[in-house]
Amino acid sequence: MDKSARTRLIKQKAYELGFQNIGIAQAGFLEEEARRFENWLKNGYHGKMTYMENHFDKRLDPTKLVPGARSVISLSYNYYPEKQQIDNTYKIAKYAYGKDYHFNIKDKLRELFQFIQTEIGETEGRVFTDSAPVMERAWARRSGIGWEGKHSLIIQKNKGSFFFLAEIISDLELEYDKPFPTDHCGRCTRCIDACPTEAILPDKTLKANQCISYFTIELRDELPADMRGKFQDWMFGCDVCQDVCPWNKFALPHTDPFFEPHPDLLTMTKQDWEEITEEVFRDIFKKSAVKRTKYSGLKRNIDFLK
């Protein structure tokens, strides 16, 4: 089977598994991203996420993760919900409405990888979805999935940005897609202007240490007093920069039952959240990404918002 046939087969199977888009880039060192990432770390924009400092070479060179790697297969998976939380309540990011995406997407990636090995032949490779030092957005851009918005997230022209990214790094030689040719953000600065904590710089740099998602998910310490009143009722993550993006008017609801929220989640009021017990927390967020912050972390965030 030649590389053209291999590529068609892989893409066809990926779409059958429900992936929204797929692109393939030639594996190699990310030279441009290396400079940007080094400066980002030097400026301390990672805050207390010290793990970002680890495995610098692996982040930038997929052959350090899979020896002999030739291809990075990038995939996107839609999570945009059909229904959202009621107004005037404490909010969680839409990606966390349903069950933790790591499990669902990892299973689909493993099925795709097994298909590759069965139908094409033995290959060395690994699957990833926000689970290892992989520059996901860089590879998504290089593989033609979309362009990097000013909020630093990948945008697809007719689908918006509410999707997860995933990768298979493989030693297979495949046909490579061209990087997305045009940045369609133009002069729009809505995401920059709308960010409640001024975490987005004009050069597509996200000061993660100033992002609401960082404070409500990553930071284990006491929330900084100078941020009080700036979170706009976000208690887990934040979607402001995506909600204001004009391209997300094209976002269509996902069709995956795995991402359906608990029946009570969308209708809970501020009072409900303020009175939430650990038992209710475990019930609503069973197998959810919100469990990462734990009951105590969510309570801390809610108390900060009162």
Active centre residues (catalytic): 130
Residue with tokens 């839409």: 94
DSSP per position, the chain? --HHHHHHHHHHHHHHTT-SEEEEEE----HHHHHHHHHHHHTTTTTT-GGGGS-HHHHH-GGGTSTT--EEEEEEEE---SS-PPSSS-EE-GGGSSS-HHHHHHHHHHHHHHHHHHHT----EEEESSSSS--HHHHHHHTTS-EE-TTSSEEBTTTBS-EEEEEEEES---PPPPPP---TTTT--HHHHH-TT--B-TTS-B-GGGSHHIIIII--SPPPGGGTT-STTEEE---HHHHT-GGGGG------GGGPPPTTGGG--HHHHHT--HHHHHHHTTT-GGGGGHHHHHHHHHHHH-
CA nearest neighbour of 51 among 41, 62, 61 = 41
- The amino acid at residue 306 is K
In angstroms, the CA 149 to CA 255 distance is 25
Distance of CA 190 to CAs 73, 158, 243, 245, 283, Å?
A: 31, 18, 10, 7, 37
